[in-house]
A and B are shown apart, each in its own frame.
Chain A
Amino acid sequence: MRGFVFYLAIGLLAALAQTSFLPLFFPPGLRPDLLLVLVIYLGLSEHMLRAVLLVLLLGGIQDSFSGTSLGLYIFVYLAVLLQVRLLSEHLNVESPPLLLLLIAGGTLVQDLLLAFCLTIFADVGSVVHILLPSFPLHVFVNLVAAAIGLFFILRIRPLFGFRSGLAGLMYQSKRHGS
């Protein structure tokens, strides 16, 4: 339960940073998706049921601060989480470069799903003109944010008694009974 509240608080802080702090320094196309990075991290590290519940709430929070309708980001984040979980069974997620690759893939999936939902359901086809040109920059910014996050996580985790490195994302998780 403590972990659940902790991740939820991190998600709220990330949403506040994205709405209040990052806009002071970065224009819209250059702001990292901190919540997407958190969703991918949850997909790799948390028990499935807890990850799904957290992602439903995080998606709702993102929807409350972005776009027009509740449900869009809940759907997108859940789809990203399920794909990360499916992929992670077959990959060595302890490798930091692979994690970064997952962030790039996650960003691609997110933008594709956003474009799909907004075009099919909301009839906002012109959003493609916003998403497509900014996509390379979007991936780059998310990768930089994730790399910075990884840099700090890799240094902070040993201080709290975890093994050094990224070991622990899948294999030390509660799902595997560490």
Chain B
Amino acid sequence: MRELLSRYRYFLLAVVLLLSILLLYSYNLRQKSATTFFERAVLTLAAPFQTSFDHAVDAVNAVWQHYLWLVETKQRNIQLEKENRRLRSQLQQVAEVRLQNGRLRELLAFVDVLDRPALPAQVIGEDAGNWARTVTIDKGTRAGLRAGLPVVAAEGVVGRIIKSAPYSSRVLLVTDASSAVAALVQRTRTRGVVRGRGAELSLDYASRDADIQKGDLLVSSGMGGVFPKGLTLGHVVAAERDQFGLFQQVRVLPAADFTHLEEVLVIVGEDR
């Protein structure tokens, strides 16, 4: 027996190590809302880099746009004065600020509609993997955020916070495969559960007999306690019924544009 153990000790060690990590993963799955010390440390360490990188990208983007703009100007009006250039480049900056203002105004209008206290945040990073759909925002526990809080954009539901560090948080998007939101078809009040499928969503447990048509709007039902009732989730793009089965297969296009997510709102309180 001892000889056997000695001969296969590395193999056994590897198996024990793998099983231990599976146990750790399994344990952490049950503690979804808890942010471990390791995760908090990594997120805290990375947040300044991600924020700086985000700012650097904005600066490079601005310079790039100005440069291109100036080249174009030079080609068209080679005798333009320096002052003229400066003013025009400022106009570019104003345009960028105006665009940002527009987006923030939309968010503010949405806050009024929402009628709940909400905290604006900036998206500073995306998921490191290919299968999961999460983003990192620049607000954390110091701003009063915690795991479980819903995150929205002017267009609709974005997701909910799953990990929170002092200066950053990770948001699980509704398009993630492990995300589920209780939903209603607005027109017919049919209930179901919206699940993430990568780029799209699906409406599960929608009764086979329910009237669901292409273009129908899906809103959060308020069940489950995370998302307030009535937030836009997406539009139905296809509803199919198999020959057998209790439920329909409903494909949903999310309302929020996750490819251009820049500013979001974290709903931090109850109804006013």
Q: Would you mind naming 11 contact pairs between A and B with Cβ atoms under 8 Å apart? A: A15-B46, A28-B130, A65-B42, A67-B131, A67-B134, A117-B22, A121-B25, A121-B29, A124-B178, A126-B197, A127-B131
> Using a Cβ cutoff of 8 Å, how many contacts connect chains A and B?
150
Report yes or no: B130 in contact with A71, Cβ–Cβ below 8 A.
no
- With A64-B39, A129-B198 known to touch, is A69 a contact of B132 (CB < 8 Å)? no
How many residues of B are counted as interface, with CB atoms below 8 angstroms from the partner's CB atoms? Answer: 50
Q: How large is the interface on A (under 10, 10 to 19, 20 to 34, 35 or more residues)?
A: 35 or more
Chain A 49-87 interface mask (CB, 8 Å, partner B; 1/0): 000100010001111111111111111001100100000
Residues of B close to A134: CB separation below 8 A = 130-131, 198
Confirm or deny: B133 has a beta carbon within 8 angstroms of a beta carbon on chain A.
yes
B94 within 8 A of A: no
Q: How far is the CA of A48 from the CA of B28 in the complex (A)?
A: 27
Distance to closest chain B CB from A21 (angstroms) = 7
Are B18 and A79 in contact (CB-based, < 8 A)? yes
With A64-B39, A121-B29 known to touch, is A21 a contact of B177 (CB < 8 Å)? Answer: no
Q: Smallest CB-CB separation from A21: which chain B residue?
A: B53
Taking a contact as CB atoms under 8 Å apart, the answer to whether A70 and B177 are in contact is no
A118 contact set on B, CB distance < 8 A: 131, 177-178
B44 to chain A, nearest CB (A): 10
A19 touches B24 (CB 8 A): no
Check A20/B177 contact, CB under 8 A, given A70-B24, A75-B22. Answer: no
Q: Mark B21-54, 1 if CB is under 8 A from A, else 0.
A: 1101111110110001011001101100110011
Q: Given that A65-B42, A65-B46, A129-B198 are known contacts, is A20 also in contact with B25, CB under 8 Å in the complex? A: no
Q: Are A24 and B39 in contact (CB under 8 A)?
A: no
Of B71-79, B100-108, B119-127, B224-232, the one contacting chain A is B119-127
Please state if A16 and B46 are interface contacts (CB–CB under 8 Å): yes
The binding surface of chain A is classed by DSSP as helix
Q: Contacts A66-B132, A66-B134, A131-B131: A52 and B17 contacting too (C-beta < 8 A)?
A: yes
Question: Which residues does chain B contribute within 8 Å of A71, judged by CB atoms?
Answer: 21-22, 24-28
* Beta-carbon contact of B195 and A126 below 8 Å: yes
B245 interfacial by beta-carbon distance below 8 Å: no
Contact of A122 among B31, B136, B178 (CB under 8 A): B178
The reply to whether A70 and B25 contact each other, CB–CB distance below 8 Å, is yes
Whether A78 touches B17, Cβ cut-off 8 Å, given contacts A66-B128, A71-B22, is yes
A78 is contacted by which of B18, B31, B32, B170 (Cβ under 8 Å)? B18
Q: Could you tell me if A62 and B129 are in contact, using CB atoms closer than 8 angstroms?
A: yes
Flag whether A97 is at the interface (Cβ < 8 A): no
The answer for the CA separation of A20 and B38 in the assembled complex, in Å, is 20
List residues of chain B with CB under 8 Å of any chain A CB.
14, 17-18, 21-22, 24-29, 31-32, 36, 38-39, 42-43, 45-46, 49-50, 53-54, 57, 124-134, 136, 162-163, 170, 172, 176-178, 195-198, 202, 259
From B27, B50, B130, B196, A16 is in contact (CB under 8 Å) with B50
What's the least CB distance linking B261 to chain A, in Å? 10
User: Is A18's beta carbon under 8 Å from chain B?
Assistant: yes
Are B14 and A126 closer than 8 Å at their CB atoms? no
A158 in the interface (beta carbon within 8 A): no
**Residue A130 contacts which of B24, B50, B134, B197 (CB distance < 8 angstroms)?**
B197
Is B28 a contact of A69 with CB atoms below 8 Å? yes
Indicate if the CB atoms of A127 and B46 lie closer than 8 Å: no
- CB nearest to A107 among chain B residues: B130
Q: Which residues of B contact A15 (CB under 8 A)?
A: 46, 128
Nearest B-chain residue to A35, judged by Cβ = B128
Instruction: Please encode chain A, from 123 to 151, with 1 for each CB lying within 8 Å of some chain B CB and 0 for all others.
Output: 01011011100100010000000000000
Do A20 and B130 contact each other (CB < 8 Å), given the known contacts A75-B21, A129-B198? Answer: no
The answer to whether A75 and B25 touch (CB under 8 A), given A19-B128, A65-B127, is yes
Question: Interface code A21-34, partner B: CB below 8 Å = 1, 0 otherwise?
Answer: 10110011101010
Q: Which residues of A contact B136 (CB under 8 A)?
A: 19, 65
Closest to A81 in B: B14
B172: chain A residues within 8 A (beta carbon): 68
